[in-house]
Every structure is written in structure tokens, then in C-alpha cells.
Chain A
Amino acid sequence: MTITLTEAAASHVRNYLENRGSGLGIRLGVRTSGCSGMAYVLEFADESEADDKIFEQHGVKVLVDPKSLLYLDGTELDYTREGLNEGFKFNNPNVKDSCGCGESFNV
């Protein structure tokens, strides 16, 4: 079971954490909602839960709860630019199909 970050994603996370002034790392997860089943959670993390799996890469801690990990295993978190828009992108090998915009997905 593993989650990875690209260097671009990690450097943005480090930058945002520094700007925020506090935080352990970031939390990745999934929850059921949206138009196609599941939706991603991407948040700052201030504390870890007992069951959390913690991955560390490029100096960034990534916290994932064990239930979400089932859906996220093998995911690479990237940071990209599309036109004027920029942000984080989940490259998740488990996704079978997603809604048109890709904000929610099915496994």
C-alpha cells in the first residue's frame, strides 16, 4: 500500500504549510458523495488519528485513513496547470470511471 507525491506537489504543499504557519502535513481521503460515487478529500492535517497511515516524501507527511487507503492505493498526487487554472491532481489507478469533470469517481 503506498501513496506518492510528485516533487511539484510536495513543493506546493510545503509552501502552503509554511504560509499557514501550522500543520502536521496533509490529509488525503475519499468520501461517498458527488455525482459518480466517491469524492476526494484534500485538507491540511493538524493531528493524526490512531489508525492513520502516514507516508512521507520530499519532506511532506501525507496522512490517510485505512478505509480511504483502499481506494487510493497507488495514487500519485501531482500539481499541474491547465490554462489559467492550477491545482492538485489525483492520479489514481483504481478509478474505473469518473464523472465528466473528474471530481467524483467510481472504483
Chain B
Amino acid sequence: MALLQLSEPGQSTVPHQHRLAAGIDLGTTNSLVATVRSGKAVTLTDDDGEHILPSVVHYREGGVEVGRKAKEGAASDPLNTVVSVKRLIGRGLSDLKTLAGRLPYEFHDVDAAVPRIHTVAGDVSPVEVSSEILKKLVKRAEESLGGQLEGIVITVPAYFDDAQRQATKDAATIAGFKVLRLLNEPTAAAVAYGLDSGSDGVHAIYDLGGGTFDISILRLNRGVFEVLSTGGDSALGGDDFDRLIAEWIMQQAGIREDTDHSTLRHLMQIACKAKEALTDAEVTKIEATLPGGSSWQGELNREQFHQLVDPLIRKTLGPCRRALRDAGLSAEDIEDVVMVGGSTRVPRVRELVGEFFRTEPLVSIDPDRVVAIGAAIQADVLVGNKSDNEMLLLDVNPLSLGIETMGGLVEKIIPRNTTIPVARGQEFTTFKDGQTAMAVHVLQGERELVSDNRSLARFELRGIPPMVAGAARIRVTFSVDADGLLSVEAEEQSSGVKASVEVKPSYGLTDSEVESMLRDSIDHAREDMEARALREQQVEAERVIEALTAALADDGDELLDDSERNTVEAALGELAGVLENGDQSQIKAAIESLEKRCEFYVERRMNSSVRKAMSGHSIEDFE
């Protein structure tokens, strides 16, 4: 007979209609899947009792292997074994070029937007590779729960942009799974500790994995987590601890630095064991086999270990300090520090991080599993297994979204930190007479100028009925769904012509660029303000020149004699000159001077058009 789980009072499901859901931590090196059983979130194991699935996919002719077995293939068949695909997902080819030096794969630039990796089983995209990992995890969950999953929650780094989020969601969709929500990894860790049901406050999530370090500052505000700031180092992790111990052994044992590869690997392994032993023990014995077959024995105590790794741990505190500064906070403002990632098991890490934030870090949940556990709790709520829907966790969009307006300026439509899902619209108009099309350029970022922001998409609204400049009413609507994915629609109100776009995974930025976008906007606030003022003045000048030139062509010959025309044209030329090189106040002055000098012409035009309108009518017609 089927095996049952405890439900909340009144929430028992009818047979064959269990609301099964799972949370997935789709990691760079390792992935996990967790679910809530009888009210308790647990990570699920495979047949061998392993919780962790290495995020490695090995393509062979006629088959795909995921996980530990695939990892074994990484050494023997590196070209067909994809590791760390998370670093590639949602990236365009140009981004990959900067990464590709470190990657063994052959990229096929079939469709420039989505690079493909060449394998014996055909070309695969990063989305497809991620999809294989998800399939493996979902299969494990369905076997463990004895039924089909209704949906999954997948975690992504807080700094993932729209393209990377969309690509992650696509990976689930092509595997046929319903994504209930994408959840920020630090938010998931906070949920695992139940911080979302606590009182409002600011928390730090310290995530030190094998090869990467991330720090996130979250604020809980009426049940909603906002990511205040993020920081980190994409090349710092527990592996570096091992390397330092290995180097220490080499020094002690007199092994030359240029020793062979297998000795190095052997040393890394015993270094890792020594590190783990020192979690509980004060001192550990080390026995290394040297090249040539002899062996070396030694001891490493905690104090020596601390001397070795302290500089590395302190290196993580720099990004912590910066993240605090970005959030405008100091260490005292942090209520809880959640420890994530296997390397936070090292007691010295906990000690120094605790000292830095002046609070005892939260460590009771296995740091390798805490993100998956938070995702599972969220998934359980989203499929409706909680009695009173006590937790409806909302997310916020991390960077402002907007469109380009005249002069290369950005008009923000949805400001950063708006709770999502959200839809906002704004009306725009045409700039020129008879304009029938409008280019919509969608941007992400905090800066004032288009060139300083991230371009997400471009599309054109065509078929606008010809009207004078400023008469058309074009409504641009931005909607961001619960996963932070954006769709933009532009509609001309009188004719109803429409065009829209959804952001597709074709653009990308490096991690550090995404992280620094926020910082830049603060560092460049004044500059940006001045740049905006200048561009606005330039646009105004261009508009004046445009209008005056059109007027001259229209009735200049009729209304002006030669000298008057020269005056107007001189004023025009002056403004055009200042427009090239002048600063904001010079342009403003030039516009004002032009207006003054051409006043007579404007007046004459007005009189002339009034005369034209009235000619042939008697006074009575206007009464």
C-alpha cells in the first residue's frame, strides 16, 4: 500500500492527489533536492545514500550520465564532460569569450545569442545541460515521494540577472517541469532558519563554498526579503584552504614545487582530510606518500592551521565590509548571520565571521543543505500544503528597469526593490512630426545614461498613425512575474497598434559587473545627475533647432527679409555650435538668447497664421 505523510489539520489530500513539491539547489559544483515530509524539510538521497549530486554532465554516444559517474569522466573525457555549467547559463557568446580561456569546451556559434557546446552526442546549450541535472534530481524526488511532482522551486544567486534567471527557468521547462518560483539562494537560506517568520530586521548570508564566496545582506520587511546588497569573490573557497595545507606539507616534507600531478592531487586529498579532522580535533596526524615511494609523517595543530588560513578568511571580510557599506549599514545592524557552504564548517571561519558581525553565526542546519531546505519549504507553501498560507514569500527586483528616451537617457519604469510580481506603465509620445515608428530599448540598471546601463532588449513599435510631434500617446507597460522575468509591451492608444518583447537569454554580464552596477550608481550619482541635466538641455536645443529649421523652410522666404533671415540663421548656427561642445548652462543660455533674438519671427508667424485662419471670414464668424 502507498506510504503516507502527516498533513496539517484539515489538509489531508484525497487519494492520488498529493501536492508533491521539491526545492532544488542547482549549484555550480554540486546540486541537491529537498522536500517537506510530514512538516519537516529534508534533503533526499540517491540509491547510495548520497545527498549531493555533482553538477556534472557527461555526454557519450547514445547516452547522458549525470552526477558522480559523470564526474569520473571529467578526467578521462574532458571535452564531453560539462562541469560548472552554471557559470555559462544565460550568457551570450561575448561573455563566454572571457570565460572560455578557462574552459576546455568547443563552442559552436550557430546562433550567436545561445552558444552551444560541441559533444559526441551533438551540440548542447547550457540550458540543456542544466536541464539534465534537473531531470536527475526530479526523478530522485519522485521516487522518494512516490508520485509526480506538482512543481519545483529552484534557487539562483541573488546577482543573477534576468537572462540568467530566464535560462534557468527554461532548463526546467524543457525537461517538462513546472517552476513554482525561482528563489534567491540567500533568501532560501534565511527561510530555512525561519527568519522570515521572525521580526523585521537585517540579516547577512555568508556563503563560502568550494570555489566561490558570496555575501548577501537581506532586509526582512513585513514578510518580504529584499536583497540590499551582494558581494563576493568568484575565485575563493575551501579548495584554497586545501591548497595552503598542501603547500605547507610540501614545505615540511621537502617536496619540490614542480612535482608531478598525481603527487599534487594526493597532497590535496590529504590536506582536505586534515582540514576536516581539525573541525573537531586540536591536532591531526598527516601521512603523505612522496614521489619515489617513501613517506612523510607529521602533525598539524589548530594553531598552525589558523596561521595558514587566517589570511584567506580575512580576505572574505573585505567583500562583507563592502556589502555593508553598499547597504548603508554597519556590522552592528546585522541581527543574524546565516552560514552556507561546506567551508563554513571550519570553526575558525565561524569564529572570525562571528567576530566581524558581532553575533554568533547560525550553524544548526547542515551548511551544504540549507539552501535546498529553504527552497523545499517555499515549494511546500506554494503548492498549498500550509494550513493558513502563513508564508507567502515575496521577492523584489534587484535592479531598476526602464526604457531609453531621447538623448540617451533612461526613464525608470520599475524602480529597484519593488516587490514582484508587478506591472507598471507609463505614457510616451513621438518626437517628430509624422513619426510612424518608435524604437523601444529596454534597460536594467541604476545609472542615468543608457550607455552606463545594461541593455536587455530592443524592439520597434510600427504603424503609428502620422501625427504632429507630441500628439501620439504610446503606453509602455513593464510586467515582472514572480520569478523576476520581464515582459514589455508598447501600445499606441488611438490606433491600438502593439508590439512587445520578453527578455530572452541572449545577453549577459560577468558576476562582478552585475555586482558593481549598484555600487557604480552610488559612486557616480553626482556625475550622472549632471550628465542627465546636460542631455536634457541638448535634447531641448535639438528640438528648438528642428522646429526653427522647419519654420524657415515653411515660411521663411515669405515673412523675413534678407537681414532678418541672417539674424535667425546666425542664432541657429550659434546654438548648433554650443550644442556640440557647450556645457549645460552654456546651452541653456544659447537657447534663451536664440529665443529672444527670434521673438519677432515667432510673433510674425503667429500673426500670419491667425490672419490666414481669419481671411475670408467676417468678424461675425468668430463671435
Given contacts A34-B15, A45-B9, contact A90 B1 (CB under 8 A): yes
A44, B7: Cβ atoms closer than 8 Å: yes
Could you tell me which residues of chain B, from 22 to 80, have a CB within 8 Å of some CB in chain A? 37-40, 44-47
Q: Judge if A56 is at the interface, Cβ distance under 8 Å.
A: no
Q: Judge if B12 is at the interface, Cβ distance under 8 Å.
A: yes
* Chain B residues whose C-beta falls within 8 Å of the C-beta of A54 in the assembled complex: none
Could you tell me which residues of chain A, from 12 to 42, have a CB within 8 Å of some CB in chain B? 12-13, 15-16, 19-20, 26-27, 31, 33-35, 39-42
B140, A84: Cβ atoms closer than 8 Å: yes
Among residues of B, the one whose C-beta sits closest to the C-beta of A47 is B9
* Chain A residues whose C-beta falls within 8 Å of the C-beta of B613 in the assembled complex: none
A82 to B4 CA separation, bound complex (whole angstroms): 12
Q: Judge if A99 is at the interface, Cβ distance under 8 Å.
A: yes
Within 8 Å by CB of A12, from B11, B16, B38, lies B38
Given contacts A20-B39, A35-B15, contact A88 B44 (CB under 8 A): no
Chain B at the A interface: mostly helix, strand, loop or mixed?
A: loop
* Chain A residues whose C-beta falls within 8 Å of the C-beta of B38 in the assembled complex: 12, 16, 87-88
A43, B1: Cβ atoms closer than 8 Å: no
Within 8 Å by CB of A82, from B3, B7, B14, B40, lies B3
B40, A102: Cβ atoms closer than 8 Å: no
Q: Judge if B5 is at the interface, Cβ distance under 8 Å.
A: yes
Q: Judge if B146 is at the interface, Cβ distance under 8 Å.
A: yes
Q: Judge if B2 is at the interface, Cβ distance under 8 Å.
A: yes
B15, A104: Cβ atoms closer than 8 Å: yes
B40, A15: Cβ atoms closer than 8 Å: yes
A43, B11: Cβ atoms closer than 8 Å: yes
Within 8 Å by CB of A87, from B9, B15, B37, B46, lies B37
Map CB proximity to B onto A52-80 as digits: 1 under 8 Å, 0 otherwise. Answer: 00000000000000000000000000001
* Chain B residues whose C-beta falls within 8 Å of the C-beta of A98 in the assembled complex: 1
Within 8 Å by CB of A102, from B2, B10, B46, lies B2
Within 8 Å by CB of B2, from A43, A84, A101, lies A101
* Chain A residues whose C-beta falls within 8 Å of the C-beta of B8 in the assembled complex: 43-44
B5, A27: Cβ atoms closer than 8 Å: no
Number of interface residues of B (CB under 8 A): 28
Q: Judge if B95 is at the interface, Cβ distance under 8 Å.
A: no
Within 8 Å by CB of B14, from A33, A84, A86, lies A33
A43, B143: Cβ atoms closer than 8 Å: no
B40, A19: Cβ atoms closer than 8 Å: yes
* Chain B residues whose C-beta falls within 8 Å of the C-beta of A84 in the assembled complex: 44-47, 140, 143-144
A86 to B45 CA separation, bound complex (whole angstroms): 12
Among residues of B, the one whose C-beta sits closest to the C-beta of A99 is B15
Q: Judge if B6 is at the interface, Cβ distance under 8 Å.
A: yes
Q: Judge if B88 is at the interface, Cβ distance under 8 Å.
A: no
Q: Judge if B145 is at the interface, Cβ distance under 8 Å.
A: yes
A101, B1: Cβ atoms closer than 8 Å: yes
A85, B146: Cβ atoms closer than 8 Å: yes
Q: Judge if A7 is at the interface, Cβ distance under 8 Å.
A: no
* Chain B residues whose C-beta falls within 8 Å of the C-beta of A88 in the assembled complex: 3-6, 38
A44, B40: Cβ atoms closer than 8 Å: no
Among residues of B, the one whose C-beta sits closest to the C-beta of A46 is B9
Within 8 Å by CB of A27, from B1, B9, B140, lies B9
B14, A43: Cβ atoms closer than 8 Å: no
Map CB proximity to B onto A89-106 as digits: 1 under 8 Å, 0 otherwise. Answer: 110000000110111100
A79 to B243 CA separation, bound complex (whole angstroms): 46
Q: Can you sample 5 A-B contacts with CB below 8 Å?
A: A16-B38, A33-B15, A84-B140, A85-B3, A98-B1
Closest 6 pairs between A and B when the two form their complex, measured CB to CB: A102-B1, A87-B3, A34-B15, A103-B15, A84-B144, A85-B146
15 more A-B residue pairs beyond the given contacts A16-B40, A42-B12, A84-B140, with a C-beta to C-beta distance below 8 A: A19-B39, A33-B14, A34-B16, A35-B15, A40-B4, A42-B6, A43-B12, A44-B6, A44-B8, A80-B3, A84-B143, A86-B37, A87-B5, A101-B1, A103-B2
